[in-house]
Amino acid sequence: MVEFIKDLILHFSIILSLGFMYNFLWMQKRSVYKKQVFKMAILAALLMTMALPVRFHGGMEFDLKLVPVFIAFFYLSRTDSFLLVAVLLLLQGFVGIDKLPVTAVNYLVILILFFSIEKLYKNTTVNKKIALGLFVYGMITTTRLAAMINADKAEGYLYLLVFSLVSFVALSVTIYIIEMTNLQLKLMHELHKAEKFSAISQLAASVAHEIRNPMTTIRGFMQVLQGEKNLNDNQNLFITISLQELDRTQTIIDNFLSLAKPNTGSMAKIDLSELLKETIDFMRSYSHLANTELVEAIDKNLCINGDAHEIRQVFINILKNGIEAMPSGGSIYIIAKVDKNNVRIQFRDEGVGMNKEQLDRLGHPYYSTKEKGTGLGMMISFDIIQRMRGRINVESAEGKGTTFTILLPCE
Ligand code: ADP
Ligand code: MG
């Protein structure tokens, strides 16, 4: 019994060290070869747990090799987990070749199981991930129990139960630590982005403001000149054009200042269905010019709380980007409907798409791949959605297209 508890504690620590290792590596600011080091750590954990199995009453042995495979599959890559299983089988050949066929079949089934839950696992909450871990462990424990009953080793039941429980707790804690590390990293990243954005927008707003003053002076003098009597027709025309151009510049700056304004001005109930339709109609001629089509499926009476001017700006930015992403034509599909307590608006284009790195940079100030791009459209749009307490999600595949999904709380 003492031996058993000792073994158990040892295995528990081996597995737990994986979680702490992950946290330590991923929190490093310097570039350490975190993936490589973590792979080595997983390999080491596998070797240790296989070399020092937990001995049961009556000569049965168990180890925790499933956990490293689990972590490798869901937190490194499929290839890594295959390699790990290959190493595992090789080792099994050394420590007990008679068990090799059973182990091979077991891990084949486990990998198939992992494949079938992979998508679900990657898109769910921490608690549900732990529940999935429990599900996997439950299956394993059941098969082990069946094997025990078959071999008629009734005295091992309690050991098996305790062992499975401890393994499951070790796996859960490891998943929890890894997930919390990832969450913390994400928050740090968002914070960094938010800081950068607020600094830049403040700076830009102050520059725009500074430009306004000298422009007012110029405009004043121009008006005085226009009042002169002995000007010829050409001079009159030039002054009129100059005044018009100054007014245009003024409007651009005013628009920009209103966008850079830190908080929403007028929050009101908006009929989003109407607003979206209007905006799409407004963009239609631009889209025809670019040989693209806007296809809409918009439910009626979708209402939100917000600033109509701002939300229209977001739609225009996304539509414009979508059109620009399809140089050889295509369609943008716009779907709007209610989703639980939110209005869900989806824009899907068939354009050039973005790779992961580009997707990460989307929304950063001045990030643009276009010759005449400003790299401000997405930054402003993300900010507007965030201030309306909404969420925006972007999925993209290079060469296939991009989907923007916006969720805004219903009014
Ligand atoms: P701009 O349009 O002025 O370049 P944005 O902030 O609107 O600035 O967009 C930033 C960059 O993100 C674009 O230059 C483009 O590379 C990329 N991008 C945005 N939307 C899409 C899209 N629908 N498809 C492909 N790339 C896109
Ligand atoms: Mg743009």
Residue 109 or residue 202, greater confidence: 109
pLDDT band at 180 (very low <50, low <70, confident <90, very high): very high
Q: How many residues does the chain have?
A: 411
Q: Is the pLDDT assigned to residue 112 strictly greater than 80?
A: yes
- Residue nearest atom 3 of ligand 1, based on CA coordinates: 373
- Within 10 angstroms of residue 196's Cβ, the number of other Cβ atoms is 13
Atom nearest to 361 CA in ligand 1: 12
Question: Where does residue 171 rank: exposed (0-12), middle (13-18), buried (19+ CB within 10 A)?
Answer: buried
Ramachandran region, residue 59 (left: φ > 0; alpha: ψ -120 to 50; beta: rest): left
Q: Is the pTM of this model over 0.85?
A: no
Distance 83 CA to ligand 1 centre (A): 38
Q: Is the pLDDT assigned to residue 63 strictly greater than 80?
A: no
- What number is the average pLDDT over the span 94-107? 85
**22 HSE (CA, 13 A, CB side):** 25
Q: What local confidence, expressed as pLDDT, does residue 177 receive?
A: 95
Q: Is the pLDDT assigned to residue 202 strictly greater than 70?
A: yes
Q: Which of 374, 383, 381 is nearest to 404 (CA)?
A: 381
Distance 327 CA to ligand 2 centre (A): 14
Domain boundaries, given as residue ranges, for the chain: 2-191, 268-409
CATH number of 2-191: 1.10.1760
- Within 10 angstroms of residue 292's Cβ, the number of other Cβ atoms is 25
Q: What local confidence, expressed as pLDDT, does residue 143 receive?
A: 82
Q: Which of 38, 285, 302 is nearest to 181 (CA)?
A: 38
Strand pairing partners for 404? 347, 394
**Residues 6+ positions from 8 with CB-CB distance below 8 Å:** 54, 162, 163, 166
DSSP characters for 224-247? HHHT-SS--HHHHHHHHHHHHHHH
Question: Where does residue 275 rank: exposed (0-12), middle (13-18), buried (19+ CB within 10 A)?
Answer: middle
Angle (CA) 197-201-202 rounded to 5° is: 115
Atom nearest to 380 CA in ligand 1: 6
Tokens at 220, concatenated: 């004043």
pLDDT digits 0-9 by tens, 78-89: 999 999 999 999
- Residue nearest atom 8 of ligand 1, based on CA coordinates: 375
Q: Which of 275, 347, 338, 335 is nearest to 306 (CA)?
A: 275
Ligand nearest to the CA of 374: 1
Q: Are 39 and 76 in contact (CB under 8 A)?
A: yes
- What number is the average pLDDT over the span 132-137? 88
- The sign of the torsion formed by the CA atoms of 376, 379, 382, 387 equals negative
What is the average pLDDT score of the chain?
A: 88
Instruction: Give 268-409's CATH code, choosing from 3.60.10.10, 3.40.50.150, 3.30.565.10, 3.40.50.1370.
Output: 3.30.565.10
Q: Is the pLDDT assigned to residue 296 strictly greater than 70?
A: yes
Pocket of ligand 1, beta carbon within 6 A? 317, 321-322, 325, 349, 351-354, 362, 367-370, 373-379, 402
Atom nearest to 404 CA in ligand 1: 23
Helix (H) or strand (E) holding 284: helix 272-289
- What number is the average pLDDT over the span 120-147? 88
**Ligand 1 pocket: which of 287, 318, 321 to mutate (most atoms within 8 A of CB):** 321
Residue where the block lists tokens 């929190």:
27
User: What percent of the chain lies above the pLDDT cut of 70?
Assistant: 97
- What number is the average pLDDT over the span 63-92? 90
Helix (H) or strand (E) holding 189: helix 157-226
Q: Are 393 and 332 in contact (CB under 8 A)?
A: no
